[in-house]
A and B are shown apart, each in its own frame.
Chain A
């Protein structure tokens, strides 16, 4: 399928994070651009981060979302408020939404209250906010639970609410930390559908997720990054960094059914992970 890269949406340069002088991740750099496909209204970007446990995936996500201070480096995202298409701004806390494994929500707010709260800083008028909330509640199949509290929601409803909430607040960028962990087949399908829906809502929507399921990463993502411990001059380091990147669009494997070529790539990613 024909596609082209447009402006940069996310730019990470030499990112490193350290806790009490202990370096967790280092030298992480990546660039993700808006992708436009011919004949498709909105493509969206789905990026997978894979790697063995303890290699710094969650720390990387916390850094992206501004929850931990950066030791070095910078994170830039497209500035949607500027008229200049190339305008970028430094990502601050709240600019990139985070959905964790538990799909945390405010326990004292109903779905409707949650979404209203997420839009509280939006420049939209109250009428437009209500309209937007109604539209999303309808599209994401949450009509029957608008007045329910998180403890009254099913896993799927909770996850959809958490995604919309973060999307409303952050606008366009969402990071999901192991969204498939501990889910049954039905729930996994629901998350997959949510990804599809996110991508069709806006071409700028960018979903970054981590997973231990490489096959799922290859089925869903257009870019796969492997985070692991690098080996430099024969010396294995003890901090996480990006050791490999696979652009499935350029490899002709994105937006396609899973096939033999995906299987080969699967083996290669496993090999990369085992050596890091």
Chain B
């Protein structure tokens, strides 16, 4: 892995060492970092993370309600209907959301929540579908009521899977977040910075931002995985 990263850096240095080059050189990217830091990069990262955590929390609560009601025959079609919405185009629907919600920050949050809910519900229903029949039988042989079966097998028994579903959907969240921040400008954020840099064709800054977004995404992924393993010793996903 380290060898490959070193190789990429080597190609980058050599490939951008001449007078003319399409890709920004390391020194241009470094300048981009410095410029971004001077413009309050830390505050923008904080704003993006707040939006990310808030929207994923709300989406998770709604998605869990849909997913846990999926085994109930009457509510099953509703939950499955929600999952189909993940194929809807992002931009078109956001127009109707802007008609209902006027505050830019709330608009960002609810665009994220609506779209994330569809992805998370799909993942969580997949988790429930994969629970082997013998786990339900096992709970029943221990004289569990139907609610106890739901609590012990589906909710407590799969809580680590729920956290892993968040981790897997984090990539989508992170990608959507930058897009949402660049469409609806509210309180800055990494998406806002990318849009501005793009407008002025500042490639050094754009690549610097891409690196920051990638590293934060990887860090979040690693942290959630680490927390899941630390909190749930039995989790062997």
* CA distance in complex: A117, B149 (Å): 13
* CA distance in complex: A98, B141 (Å): 6
CB–CB A151/B135 < 8 A? no
Q: Is A210 an interface residue (CB 8 A)?
A: no
* CA distance in complex: A193, B117 (Å): 52
Q: Using a CB-CB cutoff of 8 Å, which residues 186-237 of chain B contact chain A? A: 232-234, 236
CB–CB B232/A108 < 8 A? yes
User: Could you tell me the distance in whole angstroms from the C-beta of A235 to the nearest C-beta in chain B?
Assistant: 34
CB–CB B138/A94 < 8 A? no
**A151: B residues at CB distance < 8 A:** 234, 236
Given contacts A104-B134, A104-B135, contact A94 B234 (CB under 8 A): no
CB–CB A108/B234 < 8 A? yes
Instruction: Summarize B's interface: helix, strand, loop or mixed.
Output: helix
**B159: A residues at CB distance < 8 A:** 108
CB–CB B157/A107 < 8 A? yes
Q: Determine which of B132, B141, B157, B160 lies in contact with A169 in the assembled complex, contact meaning CB atoms within 8 Å.
A: B141
CB–CB A106/B134 < 8 A? no
CB–CB A93/B234 < 8 A? no
How many B residues face the partner with a CB closer than 8 A? 21
Q: Is A223 an interface residue (CB 8 A)?
A: no
CB–CB A67/B232 < 8 A? no
Q: Using a CB-CB cutoff of 8 Å, which residues 82-105 of chain B contact chain A? A: none
Chain A: number of interface residues, binned into ranges: 20 to 34
Q: Determine which of A93, A94, A100, A117 lies in contact with B134 in the assembled complex, contact meaning CB atoms within 8 Å.
A: A100
Q: Is B156 an interface residue (CB 8 A)?
A: yes
* CA distance in complex: A118, B233 (Å): 22
CB–CB B141/A150 < 8 A? no
Given contacts A108-B156, A108-B232, A150-B234, contact A94 B135 (CB under 8 A): no
Q: Is A170 an interface residue (CB 8 A)?
A: yes
CB–CB B152/A106 < 8 A? yes
Q: Is B140 an interface residue (CB 8 A)?
A: yes
**A108: B residues at CB distance < 8 A:** 156-157, 159-160, 232, 234
CB–CB A98/B137 < 8 A? yes
Q: Using a CB-CB cutoff of 8 Å, which residues 139-179 of chain A contact chain B? A: 149-152, 165-166, 169-170
**B20: A residues at CB distance < 8 A:** none
The 0/1 profile, CB within 8 Å of A marked 1, for residues 137-159 of chain B is 11111111000000011001101
**B137: A residues at CB distance < 8 A:** 62, 67, 98, 100, 104
Given contacts A100-B134, A104-B138, contact A121 B236 (CB under 8 A): no
Q: Is A97 an interface residue (CB 8 A)?
A: yes
Number of A-B contacts (CB under 8 A): 59
**B157: A residues at CB distance < 8 A:** 106-108
Q: Determine which of A107, A117, A149, A166 lies in contact with B141 in the assembled complex, contact meaning CB atoms within 8 Å.
A: A166
The 0/1 profile, CB within 8 Å of B marked 1, for residues 84-122 of chain A is 000000000110011010101111100000000110010
Q: Using a CB-CB cutoff of 8 Å, which residues 143-182 of chain B contact chain A? A: 143-144, 152-153, 156-157, 159-160
**A165: B residues at CB distance < 8 A:** 142
CB nearest neighbor in B for A175? B141
Q: Is A211 an interface residue (CB 8 A)?
A: no
**A169: B residues at CB distance < 8 A:** 141-143
CB nearest neighbor in B for A102? B134
* CA distance in complex: A108, B235 (Å): 8
**B141: A residues at CB distance < 8 A:** 65, 67, 93-94, 97-98, 166, 169-170
* CA distance in complex: A62, B141 (Å): 10
CB nearest neighbor in B for A174? B141
* CA distance in complex: A106, B135 (Å): 8
* CA distance in complex: A108, B135 (Å): 12
Q: Determine which of B132, B142, B144, B233 lies in contact with A149 in the assembled complex, contact meaning CB atoms within 8 Å.
A: B233
CB nearest neighbor in B for A67? B137
CB nearest neighbor in A for B236? A151
User: Could you tell me the distance in whole angstroms from the C-beta of A119 to the nearest C-beta in chain B?
Assistant: 10
CB nearest neighbor in A for B233? A149
User: Could you tell me the distance in whole angstroms from the C-beta of B148 to the nearest C-beta in chain A?
Assistant: 10
CB nearest neighbor in B for A177? B134
5 other A-B residue contacts (CB within 8 Å) besides A100-B134, A106-B152? A94-B141, A97-B141, A107-B157, A108-B156, A108-B160
A-B residue pairs in contact (CB < 8 Å), sample of 10: A65-B141, A67-B141, A93-B141, A100-B134, A105-B138, A106-B152, A108-B159, A121-B143, A166-B141, A170-B141
